[in-house]
Amino acid sequence: MDRKVVVARIMGDRNFAFISEDRIVFAIDASAEELEGLLLEERAYLPDSPETCSASQSTVSLGIIPTFDCNLHCGYCYARGGDSREVLNLDVGKTAIRSVIQEMSSEHILDISLVGGGEPLLHMEIVDPLIAYAEKESPNGVKVGIVTNGTFGHSTLQWLVQNSVSVRVSFDGVMQSEQRPFLGGGSSHDLVTQNIKALLSEGVPLTVQSIVTNKGLDSLNDTVDLLHDLGVDSWKVEPVQGTVISRSGTRQEPDPLQFAKRLLDCIHYIANSGYSMKVDTGFFGRPSVSHYCGMSTGNRIITPEGLVTSCVEVARASDPYSNIVMTGRVANGKILLDVNRQQLLNSLHFSNQEGGCSKCEWRFICGGGCPMSNIWRGGYPPIRKSSFTCSVEHWLLPRLLLDIAEDPRIAEVVMDCYEVQRC
């Protein structure tokens, strides 16, 4: 693997961070000569560095959107979940699974992600036989993950437990009742919190994902307290970013600088409270020369219409930019892919983007940001990362790194599988 060291300037002219795949080394008050020497030492260290987070067996991934149907009516929904009721044909889903398995080598594990779209667990008559089929056909078994709104019943809960499903529950904490009501009205808060506690009591691997709106900025710490009381120790925080197909447009989008400040305050709050909670900010990742996400490297996500998309946010043939993002369809007993479209998506690497990304010092951490967000905001081909994510990262990352250098507890909140040293 190409293991890169990113040198990032943090707060102060002589303060730097050497960031690699599994560690951060801080150089505080370092001269230019010291910086050059430390960089050489760090690069020499890397080849023998342990792969603390690497998987023992490689996986082949397949995303499946079982339905566009949904029982919630979230104002910021990027997919307009529940506005239509399409459900994936079972035979189409089996064909996609079989096609991927036929491509796998003997040591691969099939990794299936059930995503939305809509709410995957509304249609267990599709989900259950699909996973059973994959388990039967895949020689090394199947890893199953799901993103759900958490409103499922007891029988579905037991299915999740019995099938060892990794679960991400979309739950907006103290803003849940306002931001994620049922389709017919009424709060989903009590049912979702009940199911979160039940999943945790059963030992299900669980992450809670919260969407932050402009109204929710001031309630982040209250949501942290709520999650802690529920027993949640893995939290993903995402600001709402309106797209051209979302219900809200950009009306609920928080100010990026205010979001960054509130997020940093929240990270400190968790550290100072002594809570055992990891926070995925979405803005701080391992340095990589690869793309931001799988959209540009061959994502295969099967839609209810039997199409293959590279991004879950473009799931209908009628969606803007589907002519670029959708790379194939399920037909004739296999997945048929358009090579030319995939090549277009491969070109979305940040090194090919104008407007600052190719030279920005944070480019190997953010990977150029979400390519779909870039397209929503600037058209195709994207010429720069969205102003929102740029604004957040350029304010947040240097301050976050300095805080980690000064207080190791901060690293415990925002990082996993990292070694932190100070020179």
Residue 179 C-alpha from the chain's centroid? 20
Q: Is the pTM here over 0.85, yes or no? A: yes
* DSSP strand pairing (59-64 vs 301-302): parallel
217 and 163 belong to one structural domain? yes
Whole-angstrom Cα distance, residue 93 to residue 303?
9
108 and 196 belong to one structural domain? yes
127 and 197 belong to one structural domain? yes
118 and 67 belong to one structural domain? yes
198 and 63 belong to one structural domain? yes
pLDDT of the residue at 52: 47
Strand order in the sheet with 109-114: 278-280, 234-239, 206-212, 166-170, 142-148, 109-114, 59-64, 301-302, 307-309, 326-331, 334-337
pLDDT of the residue at 245: 55
Helices in 274-355 by DSSP H: which ranges? Answer: 322-325, 339-346
138 and 202 belong to one structural domain? yes
Query: Nearest Cα to 64, choosing from 401, 344, 330, 384?
Result: 330
Are the beta carbons of 147 and 112 closer than 8 angstroms?
no
Cis, peptide link before residue 116, omega less than 30° from 0: no
pLDDT tens string for the chain (423 positions)? 445 788 888 888 889 888 887 788 898 888 888 888 888 888 777 665 545 454 445 889 999 999 999 999 998 887 776 677 899 999 999 999 999 999 998 889 999 999 987 999 999 999 999 999 999 999 998 999 999 999 999 999 999 999 999 999 999 999 999 999 999 899 999 999 999 999 999 999 999 999 999 999 999 999 999 999 999 999 999 998 766 555 655 568 899 999 999 999 999 999 999 999 999 988 887 776 667 888 888 899 999 999 999 999 899 998 888 998 999 999 999 999 998 888 888 877 776 666 567 778 788 788 777 888 778 777 777 655 667 888 898 999 999 999 998 898 999 999 876 788 877
- What is the span of the domain harbouring residue 326? 294-385
Q: What is the CATH number of the domain that holds 184?
A: 3.20.20.70
| 325 belongs to a structural domain | yes
228 and 302 belong to one structural domain? no
The domain tally of the chain equals 2
What's the helix, strand, coil split of the chain in %, to 5? 40, 20, 40
100 and 200 belong to one structural domain? yes
| 163 belongs to a structural domain | yes
pLDDT of the residue at 63: 97
Half-sphere exposure of 321 (CA within 13 A, CB side): 24
| 23 belongs to a structural domain | no
Are the beta carbons of 329 and 314 closer than 8 angstroms?
no
226 and 306 belong to one structural domain? no
**Based on C-alpha coordinates, what's the Rg of the chain?**
22
Vertex 233: Cα angle to 229 and 237 (nearest 5): 100
314 and 249 belong to one structural domain? no
From residue 96, alpha-carbon distances to 297, 315, 364 in Å are 18, 16, 33
pLDDT of the residue at 146: 98
| 102 belongs to a structural domain | yes
- For 259, the token pair is 């979001």
112 and 196 belong to one structural domain? yes
Whole-angstrom Cα distance, residue 311 to residue 296?
9
Whole-angstrom Cα distance, residue 81 to residue 118?
5
| 242 belongs to a structural domain | yes
From residue 385, alpha-carbon distances to 219, 311, 353 in Å are 28, 17, 8
* DSSP strand pairing (334-337 vs 234-239): unpaired
With a CB cutoff of 8 Å and minimum separation 6, the contacts of 15 are: 9, 26, 27, 28, 29, 30, 402, 405
210 and 113 belong to one structural domain? yes
Task: Name the domain boundary from 200, 226, 253.
Answer: 253
Are the beta carbons of 143 and 93 closer than 8 angstroms?
no
Residue 391 C-alpha from the chain's centroid? 19
